Amino acid sequence: MAEAHLTGFLGYREDTSRRSGSWRGIVAVARASLRMVFRRKMFWALYAFSLLIFLFYLFGQYLTVYIENRVSEAMVRQGGVFGRMFNPQELSKVLTSSLHMNGSADTYGDFIWTEGYIVIVIMALVGSLLIGNDFQHNSLPFYLSKPIGKFHYLLGKALAAGGITAIMTLIPCLCLFLEYGFIEDWSYYWTEWRLFLGVVGYGSLVVVTLSSMILAVSAWLRRTGPVILVWISLFVLSRFIQRWLVDGLGLSPSWRLIDTWNNLYLTAMWLFDYDHAKIRPTNQAQPPYGQAVVVVSLTILVCILSLRNRVRAVEVVR
């Protein structure tokens, strides 16, 4: 009774709010990680390049449909000197056959493939910020001393890395799909449902794979320099090696499986139900879809297990 009277006198009151548990820590870890990345000007400079690629495809699809449906030879002939130099059939052929701005599997596959160059660079720069610095500066014990577990910490970091990847691949690609159906025909949405599943699958696969890989690499190497070197080697050097082995030395196309980005593209084409004989963008001999799917799955599994073992080794005093 005296304790209750003293509590009321001091102005304290009992906390009757609902406990959200450790799961709320996942959002807190992800939010803190994203805030740290978004403060870097380099991130926004590189992100601007990814937006330029998105806008190129966005207006390219609109221009393709507009030329096919609205522009005629008569309209061009009335355009004066510059109009005579403009051939709508030739431009439409370039947009559909060469650039593939026609709402097909090639459109979305090429878009994410092209975005990959920017995504890889950005993930290399932010990888050490997301988790490498926690090991380098001994910040991880601070996180884990809070009422969250190692699983919540990893999931929060993965959510941050996945969000950064998604805003450059999955979300813009979905916007392109929605745009083409809007400007072409509403029936596009249900007649091309397989494309929609392929877009979601490809984007999600890139998000999960890159997130797990960059977190695993950053957790072991910690510093920004080694992380960038290894990361670029995994995606750039491996591409030159597989082309030298297959195209230069004439070895089996299975050697292309050392190229992670190519494996992701092959898996996406399998999700799109794309003819393997017409696979792009290289029009060269490629390994079977099944092999690429297995390698991508093993890559994700190895990265998750490696990251789990790395975090488990950290001693925490509560």
* Angstrom distances, CA of residue 7 to CA of 2, 3, 11, 16: 9, 6, 6, 15
| DSSP string of 146-173, one letter each residue | SS--HHHHHHHHHHHHHHHHHTTTHHHH
pTM score above 0.85:
no
Contact 122, 221 (CB under 8 A): no
pLDDT at position 144 is 62
pLDDT at position 178 is 92
Mark the ranges of the chain whose per-residue pLDDT is less than 70. 1-23, 69-94, 97, 132-149, 280-283, 311-318
**Consecutive H or E run containing 226:** helix 224-232
